Amino acid sequence: MRDFLIGNGPLVVGVLLLIEAAVLVCLLKEHKRAKAPMALCMALVTAGLLFDGAVILLGRFLPEGLLKVLSMGRYLFHGLCMPLLLMISVYALGLKGTAIKVFWSVAALLMVLGAVAGLMTKLNVVDFAGFLRCTGSDATPKWADSYLSILSVAMVIPLILVGFWLMIKKKGPFLFLSGLFMFAFSALGPATGNIDLIFLIGMIGEALMVLFFLLHAKKAAKKA
């Protein structure tokens, strides 16, 4: 699998981006049809991942200056989009009124901190597995690097917990699977000794996550 990913990385990412683009269109249609804020949050997360993957895929063809600017956008959108996973879980629970306002306040704070952490990330250009991309360097403030790393894991946990609860209540397994696959593929790189491929393996988990987002949104809309 390692040799396949290294030798066919751009092809794999291209396929994943096509999947994410199709999911994004469907989620936007779902939001337009049902006026569901959960579907909109899912669409925003998908759009952020699509941008992230596009910059990684096209990095080799971009001037270094533009690559760094767009890569800074990747880290910015990462910090802004990850807290939306919390709101997806909240909407999936069917919470309303004051509870929604409280969770949006928490999410907004997390988003501000994520945006600051993203903008404070110092970049290195790395050439590996067919990609020319920017990664965080050792010059990045430790709190910013730690915050973004923790945010990536912490925001997936509510998806798994809420999804498991919904599955028990026979409301479908899709939200649970979205969080589970995202978490599993994020851990797969380090667990298999392929930490240098974590970005690529993680993108597979991201595509599966948004695909199950769409399935959950459609199921939720039918029951609404």
Percent of the chain with pLDDT over 90: 88
- Mean pLDDT over 43-47 rounds to 98
> Would you list the domain boundaries of the chain?
2-216
Please give the class, per CATH, of domain 2-216: mainly alpha
The overall average pLDDT reported for the chain is: 95
pLDDT one-digit tens code per residue, 111-160:
999 999 999 999 999 999 999 999 999 999 999 999 999 999 999 999 99
pTM of model > 0.75: yes
Q: Per-residue b/e over 21-30, b at no fewer than 16 CB within 10 Å?
A: eebbebbbeb
CB contact set of 131 (below 8 Å; sequence gap of 6+): 9, 10, 13, 56, 57, 59, 60
